[in-house]
Chain A
Amino acid sequence: NAGVMQNPRHLVRRRGQEARLRCSPMKGHSHVYWYRQLPEEGLKFMVYLQKENIIDESGMPKERFSAEFPKEGPSILRIQQVVRGDSAAYFCASSPQGTGYGEQYFGPGTRLTVT
């Protein structure tokens, strides 16, 4: 059973460009979470999605950030008009169940660098 897949692993964007981060959950998992890790900080929750639904986006910045998890294909975290402060590691996690004790399986992350 393959683990959570994320691509690209490293992404470099100039200020003002768009960044698209992809996450394929583990087989059989229909719940996806996105977290951001800034330097010297722990992971911060961004958004929780199920297939075709955003369940909780309380951690998403109000502007420029969006996420989706379509019926087919990977979950996408999209950052428009990136700024230097968006440079971080973005981790995706998946779970076979949304509520409950919350055990999540993490991908290797996408490291975004904005120049």
Chain B
Amino acid sequence: AQSVTQLGSHVSVSEGALVLLRCNYSSSVPPYLFWYVQYPNQGLQLLLKYTTGATLVKGINGFEAEFKKSETSFHLTKPSAHMSDAAEYFCAVSVTGANSKLTFGKGITLSVRP
């Protein structure tokens, strides 16, 4: 079975500062990895995904993530935070053959200080 660990429940950064949200996964087979963002009272929006190929993936809104197999990590970064980035961020994993169901981490709330 797959699992995702997102350490900490809340991250606070200043506007313009680096955003780093950590995600570690566990999977016995090659994983597919995703980051989703959820704004209050809304559904989830896909930020980016890793399937195969290039390990550094770029997503929407200036976010990117790097798949590191040796560290079983898929951390999300953005060089410069914007106030509009304040939201909850979920890391998720799926594997082929598992009906593509997503296994989510508990999520991290990102706050951006002016």
Contact = CB atoms under 8 A, between A and B. Distances in A.
A45 B102 contact: yes
A57 to B, nearest CB: 10
Interface stretch (A12-20, A69-77, A100-108): A100-108
A56 B42 contact: no
Contact of A109 (B43, B45, B107): B43
A58 to B, nearest CB: 8
Given A103-B34, A108-B43, A42 B104 contact: yes
B102 A4 contact: no
Nearest to A95: B100
B107 A101 contact: no
Given A43-B90, A91-B44, A104 B106 contact: no
A99 B106 contact: no
Interface string A17-59: 0000000000000010101000011111100100000011001
A107 B36 CA distance: 13
Contacts of A42: 4, 6, 90, 104-107
Contacts of A99: 96-97, 99-100
A98 B34 contact: no
Nearest to B9: A40
A21 to B, nearest CB: 13
A7 to B, nearest CB: 13
Contacts of B9: 40
Best-buried of B46, B49, B97, B101 by chain A (most CB within 10 Å): B101
A21 B44 CA distance: 18
Given A99-B97, A101-B94, 18 more contacts: A33-B100, A42-B4, A42-B104, A42-B105, A42-B107, A43-B104, A44-B104, A45-B103, A48-B100, A56-B101, A59-B101, A93-B44, A98-B100, A101-B49, A104-B100, A104-B102, A106-B36, A109-B42
Interface of A: 4, 6, 31, 33, 35, 40-45, 48, 55-56, 59, 91, 93, 95, 97-109, 111
